[in-house]
Amino acid sequence: MIPGIAGRRALVTAAGRGIGRAIALTLAREGALVAVFSRTQGEIESLLDAMGGAAMGHYGRPFDFEKEGAAKTITAELSEKFGAIDIAVHNLGGTLDITDALCSVADWRRVWWLNIEIAIELNLQLVPPMRERQWGRIVHIASTASLENNGPVP
């Protein structure tokens, strides 16, 4: 049991499968209301069904966080349709299949955007209201590649 999260509203990005899905299911089991996003409709539907769906207070839909302005778009939507976020789990990341160490600066920026900047933009939207409420939790998930090169350099 995780004390203090029952009834809290959580956001999990890249929640459709793997660790994101497991985190969303765990938060839901612990009594949190969970908003989940992934690029794939089927993955979101399956996850929402497994958590009990809207009837249990959960929310989700397919969403691409790589689009410009995504953080403001999704936080405004959540504010209107779900409620203020108390817990954010940033689970976005990856190589975007960019494997060339001598790739373009644009490719480096795309990987940086996915792995770092999206979470920063979300935090800029989520943290001020958490401070006002004097309660909030932010979790950033990263790869071991952040510590050592075990794959594509970008």
**What residue ranges do the domains of the chain occupy?**
9-144
Q: Mean pLDDT over all residues of the chain?
A: 92
Q: The tokens 């792995």 sit on which residue?
A: 115
- Could you give the CA distance from residue 139 to residue 110 in angstroms, rounded to a whole number? 22
For residue 59, count other CB atoms closer than 10 A to its CB: 21
The per-residue pLDDT for range 100-140, each reduced to its tens digit, is: 888 999 999 998 899 899 999 999 999 999 999 999 999 99
Q: Please tell me the predicted confidence (pLDDT) of residue 146.
A: 58
Q: Please tell me the predicted confidence (pLDDT) of residue 154.
A: 67
Report the top-level CATH class of 9-144.
alpha beta
- Could you give the CA distance from residue 122 to residue 101 in angstroms, rounded to a whole number? 28
- To the nearest 10°, the Cα dihedral for 50, 56, 62, 65? -110
Q: Please tell me the predicted confidence (pLDDT) of residue 83.
A: 97
Q: Please tell me the predicted confidence (pLDDT) of residue 145.
A: 59
What pTM was computed for the model? 0.91
